[in-house]
Structure 1
Amino acid sequence: MKYAYEYYKKSAEYIQERAGGEIGLGLVLGSSLGGISELIQDRIIIKYKEIPNFLMSTVDSHAGELLIGTLSGKKVVCMSGRFHYYEGYEFERLAVPMRVFKLLGVKKVILTNAAGGINTDYKPGDVMLISDHIKLTGASPVRGPNIPELGPRFFDVSNMYTRTLRELAKAEAEKQGIDLKEGVYFYATGPQFETPAEIRAMRILGGDAVGMSTVTEAITAAHCGMEVLGISLITNMAAGVLDQPVTTEEVDLEGRKAKDKLERLITSVVGAM
């Protein structure tokens, strides 16, 4: 039964009993970006630990809550806090949230994260639209027996970060006067930050920003047939770009400083979807 269709269905049924009805849009909030959840109206809050077969967030800056409510007139399900390989979860376990979203009726998902800037034209506080990603770890969240009810065994990911959603986000950013970058997100497993040599290699391979999340969710969402919009907040420059260490304090600080800008962008994009 583990990782079979019924495993995910049990989680979704518990959430639907509390929330009622299908939910078309999912939102995942990354490190220090949980304040966006305060904009959701008529909120139903469910602690992750209450949901059967769900995961537990161990990151201090993540609330560990699922919120269902209305944002910019749309019914949404929002994860305030996410899960990572470095917390000890198998890659296959990291498929749980998006598969549960699929069973809740989610068709589109917005994935946000805090990331380190590899591109030397970037600076802390910039917002980057994810056009594509690079993952060289070899493992996949959809490894193992396929579940046909959730998606096909083999699937195309050439448009994983949905082009039409990216164009919509660019248009909304322009309306809001937000300078929106667009680039490639490089996935690293963590929890240690990357070495300067690794960052140089990532830059050569085409990475513009680096982080420890989002990619497993994007792959699972693509398998489930969802449209994906990925947004990175550049909270620091990656190791070796500046002559200073990378710290979690810097990540948290830039997250708080960029709060208003991200709120305007996300609410505007959700309203336009």
Structure 2
Amino acid sequence: MTQAHPLDPPDDPFEVARTAAADIARLTGVERHDIAVTLGSGWGRAAELIGETVATVPATEVTGFSRPALEGHVGTLRSLRTPGGRAVLVIGARTHYYEGHGVRRVVHSVRTAAATGATTMVLTNGAGGIRDHWRPGQPVLISDHINLTADSPLEGATFVDLTDLYSRRLRDLARGVDPSLDEGVYCQFRGPHYETPAEVRMAKAIGGDIVGMSTALEAIAAREAGMEVLGFSLITNLAAGISPVPLSHAEVIEAGREAEPVISDLLARVIGEL
């Protein structure tokens, strides 16, 4: 018989997040974090630049976390101290919706971050670009999202306003660091297959600029927890039908690897201003 996961119903996911936060405090020696950052594909080196590492722990030692299923995610939780003295929780262990574990596990890292005390959530990802003037390796700000998973992290009669979900204040702050940053609307598809050209045309028709398989559900959970959200996408490829060549995960990893030094420096400088 398979052992139940801590986040399976009827357990309270917020109580599990509080337990996970207590694990992080015990394992890192840091009682409270101010900022949390989820590092998606291509963003991993930012952790080296944000600040001094206080502690690094395997995510699997923290209640509710699983080993990442995707190459490009490091599988650790890292506590950093910025030069300005802020405590930053770096999440390198993202559970994707397409893994089939349910939304609770997808957003557990965000809820845990909030339980550690973090009031700002920075979400990053590697994604496909719909605008044909964007190029692989280009970072863009997420201004809004369209959730195409037909799911939500909110349970029961929980009504959360998503106006300005991706904080305009934080986007303006990021553009103060790099005025060239463009922005767009992120569409989260269920995955794990890439979108068809017709689906990309649909996304464009309904107002989307970026397509991917993460972030939107996490952002909703962050807002529910009262966090201010900043989102970045690394355009790793042009989306299906926009790109003249077939899509591959190897292409995503390679674009992220090539862009990593530049985008990591950008992210570290933005976090330094938070």
Match of 1:37 in 2: 47
Q: Does 1:8 align with 2:8?
A: no
SS at match of 2:22: helix
1:167 maps to amino acid: D
Q: Distance in 1 between matches of 2:133 and 2:62?
A: 43
Q: Deviations over 1:169-200 (max 9, x none)?
A: 011113xxxx3111100111111100011011
Deviation at 1:240, TM superposition (A): 1.0
Q: Is the 8 A contact 1:34 1:81 kept in 2?
A: no
Q: Distance in 1 between matches of 2:66 and 2:236?
A: 26
Q: Does 1:156 align with 2:161?
A: yes
Deviation at 1:239, TM superposition (A): 0.6
1:154 maps to amino acid: F
Q: Distance in 1 between matches of 2:193 and 2:13?
A: 33
Match of 2:66 in 1: 55
SS at match of 2:128: strand
Q: Distance in 1 between matches of 2:96 and 2:24?
A: 22
Q: Is the 8 A contact 1:30 1:113 kept in 2?
A: yes
Could you tell me which of 12, 17, 20 is aligned with 2:26?
A: 17
Match of 1:209 in 2: 210
Q: Distance in 2 between matches of 1:136 and 1:263?
A: 28
Q: Distance in 1 between matches of 2:108 and 2:125?
A: 18
1:61 maps to amino acid: G
Runs of 4+ aligned residues of structure 1 deviating over 6 Å after TM superposition are: none
Match of 1:111 in 2: 123
Q: Does 1:93 align with 2:109?
A: no
SS at match of 2:178: helix
Match of 1:251 in 2: 252
Counting matched residue pairs gives: 262
TM-score, normalised relative to structure 2: 0.91
Q: Report matched runs for 1:175-194 at 5 Å.
A: 179-194=180-195
Q: Distance in 2 between matches of 1:5 and 1:226?
A: 15
Alpha-carbon RMSD across the aligned residues, in angstroms, is 1.5
Q: Deviations over 1:195-226 (max 9, x none)?
A: 01101111111111111011111000000010
Q: Deviations over 1:12-47 (max 9, x none)?
A: 111111232211100000013212222241331111
Deviation at 1:62, TM superposition (A): 1.1
Percent same amino acid among aligned pairs?
39
SS at match of 1:112: strand
Structure 1: gaps spanning 5 or more residues: 147-152
TM-score, normalised relative to structure 1: 0.91
Structure 2: gaps spanning 5 or more residues: 1-9
